[in-house]
């Protein structure tokens, strides 16, 4: 392969910098750009002061010093500009600043040379003001603001930033005070809840004691009733061993009938009393066993509601049955309501939790019913779920059964949410 072809092939390769080299290059570009901005700002201040000085009569020595100063600052800007160009292509703003630097420096040097060549008596203040005014209008980016105006604007910006920081600090202070009050209120409600739970535990213990005493009384009554029944049976069948031998006695017909009737009625009364005792004992025993069985069942709790309209009716009924109908205070009902809502449902009624009245509790439920419990919301939820139902294969029996159950649930819900 010839050398020109090899050089051509080598020159077509694109060289890529490593990550570290690129970072170093970016840092160097930033450093040189900052130096460029600083040099330009120094030149700009110098040009502004020279333009201001030329409005009045000056000595030849002073004019010479001004010419040397503006030329040196211009050279410094151009030197740093060349350094920037050596590492990257400058943007339009930098190029515009360099062009203004060269143009304004040239005009100022011409005016300084003209003033040095003129005799002192030839100085015309009006002509100089007109010429400097034209220079300002030609280069507004250089002579647009004075140094004092820049300082005033900087001070105003600083004041506005301080005021903004102060306002932000005040807002954070108010927010933290509000959060502290809310936390304090939550602590109070939590302590009340703990106290109520302790009182509930005490009541449960008292109920267990009462039930135990009732069980003892039931056992005693049952024992006495059995003893009484046993005595009555013993009296009816046991003969007195000391009694004389039985000899039949003949009574008149009417008298014999009345004695037999009295004996029979007394036996029936004893049997009725025994049956009543046994019935009462059976009732108490059944009530006690039912109470003990109920205590062994798990405590029912409402289901968490996250804003799904399909579950609103179930949540409302369970909450009313298990919590609202227990006769508790509005603050406790609001506390429990907060524990069993989440997601969009909690966001919708978050403001009502700061209240402690029955109106706040009813307002929270009204918002939930309007947002999630209306019939058209439920119907829309059924439609959305049906539209989003995943595609089911003909041989997927489990998925088909699940889809069939959902359609059956839709049909069962029609009487309660009105026709679709």
Handedness of CA 70, 75, 80, 85 (dihedral sign): positive
Q: Which pLDDT tens digit goes with each residue over 46-105? A: 988 888 888 888 888 888 898 899 899 899 989 888 988 888 888 888 888 888 898 899
Section 131-158 average pLDDT: 69
Kindly report whether the global pTM for this prediction surpasses the value 0.75: no
* Torsion angle in degrees (nearest 10) through CA of 337, 338, 339, 345: 90
Contact 338, 346 (CB under 8 A): yes
- Alpha-carbon distance 34 to 98, whole Å? 14
Residue 401: how many CB atoms within 10 A of its CB? 11
**pLDDT band at 354, cuts 50/70/90?**
very high
Q: Which pLDDT tens digit goes with each residue over 371-405? A: 888 877 787 787 888 887 888 777 788 888 888 88
**pLDDT band at 4, cuts 50/70/90?**
low
Residue 146 Ramachandran class (φ > 0 left, ψ -120 to 50 alpha, else beta): beta
Can you give 223-265 as a three-state secondary structure string? HHHHHHHHHHHHHHHCCCCCCCCCCCCCCCHHHHHHHHHHHHH
Residue 172: how many CB atoms within 10 A of its CB? 10
**pLDDT band at 268, cuts 50/70/90?**
low
- Reply yes or no on whether the pLDDT at 207 is more than 80: yes
- Alpha-carbon distance 45 to 39, whole Å? 10
Sequence spans of domains, the chain: 17-144, 309-417
């Amino acid at each position: 392969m010839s050398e020109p072809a090899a050089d051509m092939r080598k020159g077509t390769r694109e060289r890529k910098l490593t990550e570290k080299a690129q970072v170093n290059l970016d840092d160097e570009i930033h450093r040189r750009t900052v130096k460029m901005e600083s040099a330009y700002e120094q030149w700009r201040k110098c040009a502004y002061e020279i333009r201001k000085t030329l409005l009045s009569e000056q000595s030849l020595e002073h004019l010479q010093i001004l010419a040397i100063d503006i030329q040196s600052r211009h050279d410094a800007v151009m030197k740093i500009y060349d350094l920037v160009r050596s590492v990257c292509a400058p943007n339009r703003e930098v190029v515009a600043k360099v062009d203004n630097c060269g143009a304004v420096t040239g005009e100022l040097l011409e005016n300084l040379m003209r003033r040095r060549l003129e005799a002192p008596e030839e100085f015309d203040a009006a002509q100089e003001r007109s010429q400097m005014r034209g220079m300002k209008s030609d280069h507004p980016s250089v002579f647009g603001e004075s140094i004092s105006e820049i300082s005033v604007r900087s001070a105003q910006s600083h004041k506005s930033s301080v005021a903004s920081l102060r306002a932000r600090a005040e807002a954070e202070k108010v927010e933290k005070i509000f959060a502290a009050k809310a936390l304090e209120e939550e602590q109070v409600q939590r302590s009340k809840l703990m106290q109520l739970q302790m009182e509930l535990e005490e009541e449960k213990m008292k109920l267990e004691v009462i039930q135990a005493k009732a069980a003892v009384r039931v056992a005693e009554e049952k024992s006495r009733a059995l003893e009484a029944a046993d005595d009555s049976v013993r009296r009816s069948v046991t003969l007195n061993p000391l009694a004389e031998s039985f000899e039949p006695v003949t009574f008149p017909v009417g008298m014999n009938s009345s004695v037999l009737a009295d004996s029979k009625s007394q036996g029936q009364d004893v049997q009725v009393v025994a049956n009543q005792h046994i019935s009462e004992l059976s009732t108490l025993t059944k009530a006690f066993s039912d109470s003990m069985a109920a205590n062994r069942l798990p405590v029912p709790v409402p289901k968490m509601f996250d804003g799904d309209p399909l579950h609103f009716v179930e949540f409302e009924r369970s909450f009313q049955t298990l919590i609202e109908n227990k006769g508790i205070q509005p603050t406790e009902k609001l506390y429990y309501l907060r524990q069993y809502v989440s997601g969009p449902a909690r966001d919708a009624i978050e403001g009502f939790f700061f209240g402690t009245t029955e109106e706040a509790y009813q307002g929270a439920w009204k918002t939930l019913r309007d947002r999630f419990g209306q019939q058209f919301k439920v119907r829309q939820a059924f439609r959305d779920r049906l539209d989003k139902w995943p595609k089911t294969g003909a041989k997927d029996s489990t998925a088909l059964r699940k889809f069939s159950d959902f359609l059956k649930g839709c049909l069962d819900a029609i009487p309660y949410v009105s026709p679709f």
